[in-house]
Amino acid sequence: MRFVMLPFALMLAAIALAAPAHAQDSPAQLRQQIERLTEQIAELEAEVERATERIEKLLDENRRLREAVREGGAADRAPADDQTESESTEIEIPDDPFAAPIAMRRYVERQWEQEFGDLTVSEGEVDTDYLRAVRPWTRSVQRDLNGDFTWRVYVHRAEDQGRRVVAEVQVLNRAGDPLGDRVEIEALGQVGRLLLAAASDAVILVDGRMRVQLDVSVQHGVGDDLVAPYVMIEDDYDVRAARYE
């Protein structure tokens, strides 16, 4: 066992220190002291062994998550014809809008469907009544979506840009499956340095603040890249704390 030598040295040191104070102790008393020290050392060795097992399990889990993220990225790049039925199964997106950026966008789309689902908006035909109605709706949704989040992410890359660090991350669910596309997050100081250290190597937890801006303009059209007809979304994610699992 690799941890035996250090506790044994501690035992010898303890006996050496205790010897002057107990110079008159009988051999039986000394044996009792040695037995107590031996029991204490055995307990310390067992605690060290348990801690080592926990660390090894965490390292194995981290490696498994990194492999899952890499495999997920490879599946995203593969042609659709090459995907099996299990690979093409859609991952469940949480209802909580703060669970991931894709969950936030789905939330906006659901809210729009509830409010304007019966309305037909065609390309090239601007409905002024719709525009007047959708603007106050966007302000209400924005208020709901400016809040705190905690994500489990894999850091694909991170770049030091002077006062801040910008990182590209993949948000993961508890099973290690990717939730939506990669997004950019920003951090300052020590939190930013942790993102740099974790890049392409680790799954970490990040706490931050989500800020969402919904902009209404006829120039936005009604294309698929919008969260709603004539509604463009801008989202920012400032990370304020980060830690390893």
The CATH number given to whatever domain includes residue 160 is 2.40.50.140
pLDDT of residue 239 exceeding 80: yes
Q: Is residue 94 part of a domain?
A: no
72 and 147 together in one domain: no
Provide the pLDDT confidence category of residue 217 given band limits of 50, 70 and 90: confident
Q: Is residue 96 part of a domain?
A: no
pLDDT tens figures, 56-75: 666 566 666 666 655 554 44
Residue with tokens 């939506």: 180
57 and 128 together in one domain: no
- Structural domain including 43 reads 1-89
- Catalogue the long-range contacts made by 151-154 (C-beta closer than 8 Å, 24 or more residues apart): 151/99, 151/100, 151/205, 151/206, 151/208, 152/203, 152/204, 152/205, 152/245, 153/185, 153/203, 153/204, 153/205, 153/206, 154/65, 154/66, 154/69, 154/202, 154/203
125 and 231 together in one domain: yes
Could you give the number of structural domains in the chain?
A: 2
β-pairing, 203-216 vs 183-188, is unpaired
Q: Is residue 143 part of a domain?
A: yes
pTM for the model:
0.61
d(CA 191, CA 91): 30
Q: Is residue 178 part of a domain?
A: yes
pLDDT for 74 equals: 42
Which residue, 69, 89, 109, sits at the end of a domain? 89
pLDDT mean over 65-88: 46
108 and 218 together in one domain: yes
